[in-house]
Amino acid sequence: MSLKYIIFWVLTLITFLVIIVIFSLTLGVAGIPAGKMVSVFLHGPGSTEYSIIFDIRLPRIILAFAVGGSLSLAGVLLQGMFRNSLVEPYTLGISGGAALGVSISIVLGLAAISRFTFPLFGSLGASMVIGILYLLSLKKVRINLQRLLLIGIMISFISSSLVMLLMSLSSMDSLHGIVFWIMGSLAESDGTLIQIMLAASLGLLAVSYLFCHHLNAFALGEEEAHHLGIPVESTKRILFLASSLLTGFCVSAAGMIGFVGLVVPHFMRRVVGHDHRILLVSSFLAGAIFLIVCDTVARIIIAPVELPVGVVTGIVGGSIFVYALAKEDIS
């Protein structure tokens, strides 16, 4: 794959991203024409439009960029490691652990203590699942991928059952909080958390590029990758940890937003090919675009009421995925 090909797709996706961001900034209950945005930027703080753009819409877009890109990147890493395009970030139960942690904090009424309560408990829940998965999947100092996948699916079911148990025992206020959080939301007003999420997503994207050739070799199988000089076991550990951290950060910051880590890598693999040198960054950018679009739709489709973004990603992503698979079978 040539460098020109990679640059072409990166620039194309960045162009789409910029266009989508501009449209997202203009759309909402209070519409702001694109032409007026220039004067808003030039005049600076003080106007209502400036507050709407910089205090409400832009933070959501930045968070959508980080979360959408991270979920897609995690999907690419896991699918490359497992050599299975149906594996996604939520398959391993890490999201379930984060959801359980946040649900516990809601039931205990700890949200009023600190603005970082949800991310903290979500991260603790995700970290607990990561540790369990790592210890149980080790077999003679090797990570058994099939064992890891099966354990992750079971932990996901257990976590979901425990969350439902908490919901059945909680008050109406706690129940509403758990349900709304599980459906996903990008209405995060804390700038520090958004900055942490953005830094983590871009940092782990850079780290993942150290393993693009390893992932390409994994497509041939673990044994063949070993013969090519790839440190298979250490690579699996790092990729597992990176994808787990990405998933944990996303769920802790924005709740359960499904289908991004499954649908986007699957389609980008068809568009740009299987080479991870282009697949990693293209999936990251496409995931960011997809989630920004879905969040914009969630904000405006039944305005002034706002839909949870997870509902939109599930409906849109699932419908597109089923349509594409059906069309492939027909053709």
CATH number at residue 50: 1.10.3470.10
pLDDT in tens, the chain (331 residues): 678 888 999 999 999 999 999 999 888 877 777 777 777 777 777 778 888 888 888 999 999 999 999 999 999 998 988 888 888 888 888 888 888 888 888 888 776 666 677 778 887 888 888 888 878 877 666 777 788 888 888 888 898 899 888 888 888 877 877 887 778 888 766 788 888 889 989 999 999 999 999 999 988 888 888 888 888 888 888 888 888 888 888 887 888 888 898 889 988 988 898 899 999 999 999 999 999 999 999 988 887 888 888 889 988 888 887 877 777 654 3
Strand partners, 143: 138
Number of domains in the chain: 1
State the pTM of this model: 0.89
CA angle (103 as vertex; 61, 257 as ends), nearest 5? 35
Query: Long-range CB contacts (< 8 A, 24+ apart) of 269-276?
Result: 269/85, 272/9, 273/1, 274/216, 274/219, 275/1, 275/216, 276/76, 276/80, 276/212, 276/213, 276/215, 276/216
- Please tell me the distance from the alpha carbon of residue 101 to that of residue 162, in angstroms, as a whole number: 10
- Please tell me the distance from the alpha carbon of residue 57 to that of residue 77, in angstroms, as a whole number: 30
Boundaries of domain holding 84: 3-330
Q: Token match 């150290």: residue? A: 210
